Amino acid sequence: MTYSEDLALKALSNIADPIKDGDIISSGRLASLEFVDGTLQAVLQIPPPQAENFFPIRETAQSVLEALEGVTKAQVILSAHKAGPQMASRPRPNPHQARRPEGVQGDGDVKRILAISSAKGGVGKSTMAANLAVALSRSGLKIGLLDADIHGPSLPMLFGTTGQQARTIKAGARNIIVPIEAYGIQTMSIGYLTPDDSPIVWRGPLVQGAIARMLWDVDWGELDALLIDMPPGTGDAQLGLAQDVKPNGAVIVSTPQDLALLDARKGVAMFEKVDIPVLGLIENMAVFTCSECGTSHHIFGKDGAKTEAEASNINYLGAAPLALSIRESGDAGQPVAAANTDISENFKDIATQLWQQAQTTPQRE
């Protein structure tokens, strides 16, 4: 038999809507249904505050669609693409205003939250966050790492946990998520909550809500610090996240080149607007040393981030090189900071500087 859209709609109509009477078809959830070369893609429109109620629905819908004749792969995408509300006469600083759930708080024993930000993609922020987390953990601290990039989660690859799925446990009247431990670190990513690599097409409010809930709904346990690998950019999603989570401090990662430093300045300004102290700036990909001749090359410029830190009157926390071993270790799911090499010592030094600055901030109550 070949694929039949009528059968696909019938299969989906057997799935109950979690917040409305009836099924997901009659309640108008289905935004699109497309079949191309054996792949069936369905997009379900959902309200941002109810995102967690639809994760099981997504998995069920994907299973029933993949069971249809002619379908070799099914993708079910949760989307919140709806018209935005009318703007008020005076803009609100945070239109999202996520609300904490009642009951047990997963971050209740987290002493400090530190945001690792870049304001620009492609500068190695996630790799830096992963290796800083490992370096801090190796120093004897209890560390967690939250991957806040909903659209492009990289933590599972960096820690070799791709394919693992987080489980939940009962905590009072609530179900909370158990983080996945890797290299002595408690880790959480949207990649642990979705069954495959299907794209997640969410807009700002839903992204902000999902990240905040991964903070509140995850059983982090007792941590000296939780590092948040922030999504790149300085838009509504990042601003709202900063206000919802309210980190103790932020770190800006940049390469030495002028183009990246322009965005680094925007990142500093964003955190200043929401009264989150910038603990310092880290220069990534600072220098490349040729393995053949030993010559050092400043491919992206020399000391750009250090100069910027001095000009902006913020701390310079150190520099990491542009090294093949960093890339290879990340691709292999084995953070280079977990080894005993010159580069791991480099990350240890940066982590030491970061922790010294972090301790100048008060602990969370």
One DSSP character per residue, 175-221 reads: EEEPPEEETTEEEEEGGGTSSS-------HHHHHHHHHHHHHSB---
| Mean pLDDT computed over every residue of the chain | 82
Contacts of 37 (CB under 8 A, 6+ apart): none
Q: Say yes or no: 311 and 189 in one domain.
A: yes
Lowest mean pLDDT: which of 73-87, 108-122, 298-312?
73-87
Q: Say yes or no: 57 and 128 in one domain.
A: no
Q: Say yes or no: 314 and 179 in one domain.
A: yes
Q: Say yes or no: 151 and 19 in one domain.
A: no
Give residue 194's pLDDT band: very low, low, confident or very high (50, 70, 90): confident
Over residues 318-342, mean pLDDT: 92
Q: Say yes or no: 121 and 46 in one domain.
A: no
List the CATH number of the domain containing 123: 3.40.50.300
Return the pLDDT at 32: 80
* Within-domain flag for 193: yes
Return the pLDDT at 240: 67
pTM above 0.85, yes or no: no
Q: Say yes or no: 177 and 294 in one domain.
A: yes
> Which of 59, 79, 99 is the endpoint of a domain?
79
* Within-domain flag for 189: yes
Return the pLDDT at 182: 96
* Within-domain flag for 17: yes
Q: Say yes or no: 212 and 167 in one domain.
A: yes
Domain ranges, residue 60: 7-79
Number of domains the chain is built from? 2
Return the pLDDT at 260: 62
Res. 246: pLDDT tops 90: no
Q: Say yes or no: 124 and 68 in one domain.
A: no
Q: Please give the Cα distance from 154 to 331 (Å, whole number).
A: 10
* Within-domain flag for 141: yes
* Within-domain flag for 1: no
Q: Say yes or no: 305 and 195 in one domain.
A: yes
Q: Say yes or no: 154 and 211 in one domain.
A: yes
Starting at the earlier edge strand, list the strands of the sheet with 185-189. 180-182, 185-189, 143-147, 225-229, 113-117, 249-254, 278-283, 316-319
Q: Say yes or no: 61 and 166 in one domain.
A: no
Over residues 269-292, mean pLDDT: 83
Quote the tokens at residue 93. 């600083």
* Within-domain flag for 34: yes
Q: Are 238 and 204 in contact (CB under 8 A)?
A: no
Question: pLDDT for 121-154, tens place per residue?
Answer: 778 899 999 999 999 999 999 999 999 887 778 8
Phi, psi dihedrals of residue 270, rounded to the nearest 5°: -60, -45
Strand ranges in 193-345 using DSSP code E only, listed in sequence order: 225-229, 249-254, 278-283, 288-289, 296-297, 316-319
Q: Please give the Cα distance from 151 to 242 (Å, whole number).
A: 18
Return the pLDDT at 227: 97
* Within-domain flag for 56: yes
The neighbour count for residue 267, using CB atoms within 10 Å, is: 26
Question: pLDDT for 21-62, tens place per residue?
Answer: 888 988 888 888 888 888 888 888 887 667 778 888 988 999
List the CATH number of the domain containing 16: 3.30.300.130
Phi, psi dihedrals of residue 61, rounded to the nearest 5°: -60, -40
Q: Please give the Cα distance from 239 to 253 (Å, whole number).
A: 17
Return the pLDDT at 259: 61
Give residue 86's pLDDT band: very low, low, confident or very high (50, 70, 90): very low
> Which of 36, 54, 79 is the endpoint of a domain?
79
Return the pLDDT at 356: 96
Quote the tokens at residue 7. 């059968």
Residue type, 295: T
Give residue 89's pLDDT band: very low, low, confident or very high (50, 70, 90): very low
* Within-domain flag for 126: yes
Quote the tokens at residue 196. 């495959």
What is the b/e burial string over 215-245, where b = at least 16 CB atoms within 10 angstroms of the residue's CB? bbbbbbeebbbbbbbbbbbbebbbbbbbbbb
Please tell me the total number of residues recorded for the chain in this structure. 365
Return the pLDDT at 307: 82
Q: Say yes or no: 233 and 327 in one domain.
A: yes
Q: Are 133 and 336 in contact (CB under 8 A)?
A: no
Give residue 232's pLDDT band: very low, low, confident or very high (50, 70, 90): confident
Pick left, alpha or beta for residue 172 (phi over 0 → left; psi -120 to 50 → alpha; otherwise beta).
Answer: left
Question: pLDDT for 97-111, tens place per residue?
Answer: 556 777 888 899 999
Return the pLDDT at 79: 74
Residue ranges of alpha helices (H) inside the chain are 5-12, 51-66, 125-138, 155-158, 204-216, 236-245, 258-273, 304-312, 324-331, 342-358
Question: pLDDT for 348-363, tens place per residue?
Answer: 999 999 999 999 999 9
Return the pLDDT at 87: 34
Q: Please give the Cα distance from 113 to 233 (Å, whole number).
A: 19
Lowest mean pLDDT: which of 14-23, 104-113, 290-299, 355-364?
290-299
> Which of 79, 96, 124 is the endpoint of a domain?
79
Residue type, 276: I
The neighbour count for residue 181, using CB atoms within 10 Å, is: 12
Return the pLDDT at 208: 60
